[in-house]
Amino acid sequence: MNRNFWLQPDDELDPKIKDRLLEIVKDFMDQNEISDAEIKDITFTGSLANYNYSKYSDIDLHIVVSFAEVNANTELVKEYFNARKA
């Protein structure tokens, strides 16, 4: 695993990286005016989260929220989130 992100011997995410990723999540939630929705989970996926990384790898974060907590029109919320994916 990429040693710039993961610490030995337990492959724990570097605390500085973790803190920065949490800041990015907070900024995303604030900018999209959904900071009132409870975050159910945050998943770090992709090649940097396993052994398939390369110099071209990027960070993939998935923020899990209940669409119904954002707005009662869950289909609209789903479409909105899909449009906001970077």
Q: What is the phi/psi pair of residue 36, to 5°?
A: -80, -20
Answer whether 44's CB lies under 8 Å from 59's CB.
yes
pLDDT of residue 11 exceeding 90, the answer is no
Where exactly are the structural domains of the chain?
6-84
The type of residue at 9 is P
Q: Output the pTM of the full model.
A: 0.83
pLDDT, the chain, mean? 92
Name the β-bridge partners of 61.
Answer: 44
- Give me the mean pLDDT over the 48-53 stretch: 90
Pairing of strands 12-13, 39-45: unpaired
Dihedral of CA atoms 24, 85, 73, 33 in degrees, nearest 10, equals: 30
Confidence grade of residue 86 (pLDDT, cut at 50, 70, 90): low
pLDDT of residue 74 exceeding 80, the answer is yes
- Give me the mean pLDDT over the 19-44 stretch: 94
Paired tokens of 52: 């398939």
